[in-house]
């Protein structure tokens, strides 16, 4: 797990290459993109997006 430590030359206090648990999925970027595109009210998001993310859609909640 020293990928980023080696690339960015990150060192620990003892001089060893720093290790990171980052796996670079960018989940916060994905969340920000979804919020930016669809808004903060997830109940108003398109059914196909809700279904893909949570297996949930408004159709399942009516009646």
Task: For residues 18 and 2, give the distance between their C-alpha atoms in angstroms, rounded to a whole number.
Answer: 6
> Closest by alpha carbon to 6, among 21, 18, 24?
18
pLDDT tens for the 63 residues of the chain, in order: 788 888 889 999 999 999 988 776 788 888 999 999 999 999 999 999 999 988 876 655 444
Task: For residues 5 and 32, give the distance between their C-alpha atoms in angstroms, rounded to a whole number.
Answer: 26
Domains in the chain: how many in total?
Answer: 1
Quote the domain boundaries for residue 17. Answer: 3-61
**Residue in this structure with the two tokens 């060192």, named with its chain if needed:** 11
């Amino acid at each position: 797990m020293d990928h980023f430590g080696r690339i960015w030359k990150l060192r620990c206090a003892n001089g060893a290459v720093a290790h990171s648990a980052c796996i670079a999925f960018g989940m916060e970027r994905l969340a920000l993109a979804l919020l930016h595109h669809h808004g903060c009210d997830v109940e108003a998001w398109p059914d196909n997006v809700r279904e893909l993310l949570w297996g949930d859609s408004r159709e399942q909640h009516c009646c």
